A and B are shown apart, each in its own frame.
Chain A
Amino acid sequence: MTTDQLIVRRAMDGDERALRQLWMQHAPHIDAVVLRLCGDRDLAADVAQEVWIQIFRALPGYRGESQFSTWAHRIAVNRTLNALRKVRRLARVELDIDEGAAVTGDAERDSERTFLAESIDQAVQRLAPGARTVFTLHDVEGYTHEEIAQELGITTGGSKSQLAKARAKLRRLLGHLTDVSTSGVQQTHVTPA
């Protein structure tokens, strides 16, 4: 039995130290997922609290068939999407697509020229909630369009369309980074936003 499995076993038994250790080890990743999907830090903090409660509530059902991080990650995404539905940020995802199509014209391109995102994180915040969610789920979290369609209650075509528009907008928002070499990817610990 690995150390992680031992910690999970103790956590299942209600050992506070083990629960806390799981939280300490995985919060930086889990909370990052929540923050990406929520966009807003205050909202994300509230949702993250609910996510962790849900992860620990569901712990007795963890069978160890996947890594704990993978299992917890899936719960985090589901719980965050549920929370976002409650605050109506995903209530009209399909409409976002139409709205996006309507405003992706010269006027919006002009406004985008005045906004230069300094990071992909900042640029993603400029996306409509639906587009941000689809982009995050597909490109960052690795969900398929079919899974996204099921999660969000949209069509796979809608998901693909949303993703294409999101990527196109991100490329424009980050266009000034064209000359930046990919060496930035290798930076560790800290990168100016």
Chain B
Amino acid sequence: MSLPPKELSESALDALIARERTRVVAPLTEWHTLAPQLRAEGLIHGATQSEYTDYTERSFETASVPAVPRDTIGRQVWRWSARFAGGAALVGLGVVIGRGVSIGHEIAPAVKQVIAEGMADSASFKSEEQARKTLARAQGQYQRAAAYLAAHDTSPQIVGGPEMYQARLAALDEVLEATRTKLRTSPADPVLNQYYQSAVGAREATIQQLGKTLPAGARIEHY
């Protein structure tokens, strides 16, 4: 005589369903396959993000230089300095997050150096448009480099278990929450927007990295 099979209780099943409801998966789609189709349908306007890499310094040099009213120069220098500082800090954040090294030992001096170099180089810009394109190009290159390293870098610094990526996700969540809170009061702030977008990208890359560290049969439940 066989025993009747055990059955999960209704409440336990409901608890599992509740967890399933919040489960997310690593995206099944990839932007580089979506974007061309969206562009073909006219849903994306303007240049592709990757086209920024096609710009050369020579093309910047031939760009026209609009006159800038003297009383606005100070504000603009501050604004773009702050923006560059934000970008540099983002690089630092990305390096901290991506490489898992301490701020105290390596990142702070590196960020200072990047900012100093950036301020020194800023004199070579001849227009706001030129600087904006350079910034966009640098952002694109940074994001592509980060994505490449996320997929290919096997150096010891980034090889870690799921715990490392979970800790990184927790840190990124804090960054996102703080940025999101500030964006509610300053939605057009370009520096905050860059932080937010880069943190979202870093979070996405981390989830993908986390997925690669899982043992066979394991999965990401939610984050």
Q: Which B residues are in CB contact (< 8 Å) with A167?
A: 10, 13
Which parts of A103-162 form the interface with B (CB within 8 Å)? 109, 112-113, 118-121, 139-140
Q: Is B151 an interface residue (CB 8 A)?
A: no
Contacts A32-B23, A175-B6, A188-B223 given; does A45 touch B29 at CB 8 Å: yes
Q: Is A92 an interface residue (CB 8 A)?
A: no
Q: Is the CB of A34 within 8 A of B28?
A: yes
Which parts of A51-75 form the interface with B (CB within 8 Å)? 52-53, 56-57, 59
Q: Is B104 an interface residue (CB 8 A)?
A: no
Q: Is the CB of B204 within 8 A of A24?
A: yes
CA distance A188 to B22 in the complex (A): 11
CA distance A57 to B42 in the complex (A): 9
| Contact partner, A3, options B8, B23, B184, Cβ 8 Å | B184
Which parts of A20-55 form the interface with B (CB within 8 Å)? 20-21, 23-25, 27-29, 31-32, 34-36, 41, 44-45, 48-49, 52-53
CA distance A14 to B19 in the complex (A): 36
Q: Number of contact residues on B: which range applies?
A: 35 or more
CA distance A25 to B196 in the complex (A): 11
Q: Which residues of A contact B (CB under 8 A)?
A: 1-3, 6, 13-17, 19-21, 23-25, 27-29, 31-32, 34-36, 41, 44-45, 48-49, 52-53, 56-57, 59, 109, 112-113, 118-121, 139-140, 167, 170-172, 174-178, 180, 182, 184-185, 187-193
Q: Which residues of B contact A (CB under 8 A)?
A: 5-10, 12-13, 15-21, 23-29, 31, 33-35, 37-38, 41-46, 48-49, 162, 166, 169, 180, 183-184, 187-188, 196-197, 200-201, 204, 207, 210, 214-215, 217-223
7 of the cross-chain contacts (CB-CB < 8 Å) are: A13-B45, A14-B44, A57-B43, A109-B5, A120-B17, A120-B19, A188-B166
